[in-house]
Structure 1
Amino acid sequence: WLQYLRTHGLGGILADEMGLGKTAQVLAHILLEQQAGRLDQPALVVLPTSLVFNWQAEARRMTPSLRVLALHGPERAADFSRMGQYDIVLTTYPLVWRDLDALARQPFHLLILDEAQTVKNAAARSAGAIRRLQARHRLCMTGTPMENHLGELWSQFDFLMPGWLGDARSFSRLWRK
């Protein structure tokens, strides 16, 4: 399914219960992109800080041939110029807006939001920063694509395929209310 989305230039939300393998599926997708020769720029994964080590461990275990860089901690600026040498770059929601200038200079093959409900508020600082990053393909991963109202789903689709569901005001008028 992830390969289908990429082939057709579509973004998508991989949504299921916690522990059912979203990370494994995305790692397999990135590995297929590498093996096909399409991963000529890194995949950027934006995630909660608590998941950085999980992603590193899962990548080591399932896709050991993929080179992973975690942009985390006070020394991360030293790695900005090396992002293009890696297959996967990990950063966190709190850091993405702080490191926006460096991240915006690096084009990405994939831009993946893990726990994508974090950007449910399209006006939030990290949501705005994420929308400014360059990527050929975009994916969301979440166990809860919508927690409170349909506007949260619109926010994720605005990241994935801007304009596809119209603007926030018309979406709210036509669908949310």
Structure 2
Amino acid sequence: GVNWLSFLARFGLHGVLADDMGLGKTIQTICCLASSASAARAQESEGGPATLGPRPSLVVCPPTLVGHWAAELEAALGMKRGTPGALLTPLELAGAARERAALMRSVTSATVVVTSYDSMRADAEALSALEWDYVVLDEGHAIRNHKSKMAIAAKAVGQRARHRLLLSGTPIQNRAHEMWSLFDFLMP
């Protein structure tokens, strides 16, 4: 899985990680995010041309997993939130509209922003104006209906990302044509 994600990143490709439940899609993705953040930090410290540039990544997941993702990001590298020099610093973009609007001011100081599908849809205009390193859709089959507001918002938010990644143990839920919406997000 990690080799596959590294291959995609190296060649500027987007992809689906469709491992079965429990096989570590989250930790594999965190490895990929950490690798990208490390490369951007190294390039920045060397004073070379900022082709990678420090950009935050966005993880969109079901609301029940927002806290889990933030905890996994911290645990994976053994760092607590606010640790100076932490490679991955998560920001949970959650709560009521007013709370999220206040948190939006901190988005560029985080390396990974974690939000729910509903919050992404509600904040699509602000999120689509930002440049992302990765946009990761966990349980990406949530955008299987290409006409839904969720799928339209995900596509808009992902447009300015260097890399788009979709995680799902079950990318096809009902019909094979649902895959079209997933690939429309990845390769519009």
Say which of 8, 11, 16 aligns to 1:8. 11
- Identity level (%): 40
Q: What is aligned with 1:125?
A: 149
Distance 1:39 1:60 in 2: 22
State which drifts further: 58-67 or 40-49.
58-67
Q: What is aligned with 1:149?
A: 175
Distance 2:73 2:10 in 1: 24
Residue identity opposite 2:89 in structure 1: R
TM value normalised by structure 1: 0.88
Q: Secondary structure at the match of 1:97?
A: helix
Distance 1:154 1:39 in 2: 31
Q: How big is the shift at 1:39?
A: 6.1
- 1:27-176 matches, within 5 Å, as 27-37=30-40, 38=52, 40-63=54-77, 64=79, 65=86, 66-74=88-96, 75-133=99-157, 134-162=160-188
Q: Which runs of 5+ in 2 are unaligned?
A: 41-51, 80-85
Q: How big is the shift at 1:59?
A: 0.8
Distance 1:28 1:146 in 2: 26
Q: Which runs of 5+ in 1 are unaligned?
A: 163-177
Q: How big is the shift at 1:107?
A: 0.9
Residue identity opposite 1:68 in structure 2: P
Distance 1:87 1:39 in 2: 12
Residue identity opposite 2:19 in structure 1: D
Q: Secondary structure at the match of 1:36?
A: helix
What do residues 15-34 of structure 1 show as CA deviations (whole Å, max 9, x unaligned)?
A: 11111100000000000011
Residue identity opposite 2:56 in structure 1: P
Q: 1:56 to 1:144 in 2, by over 3 A?
A: same
Distance 2:33 2:53 in 1: 8
TM value normalised by structure 2: 0.83
Residue identity opposite 1:54 in structure 2: H
What do residues 113-171 of structure 1 show as CA deviations (whole Å, max 9, x unaligned)?
A: 00001000011101101111221110000010111111111111110011xxxxxxxxx
Q: Secondary structure at the match of 2:122?
A: coil
Conserved in 2, the CA contact under 8 Å of 1:39 and 1:87? no
Conserved in 2, the CA contact under 8 Å of 1:42 and 1:89? yes
Q: How big is the shift at 1:101?
A: 1.8
Q: Secondary structure at the match of 2:105?
A: helix
Conserved in 2, the CA contact under 8 Å of 1:30 and 1:39? no
User: Number of aligned pairs?
Assistant: 162
Conserved in 2, the CA contact under 8 Å of 1:33 and 1:39? no
Residue identity opposite 2:175 in structure 1: H
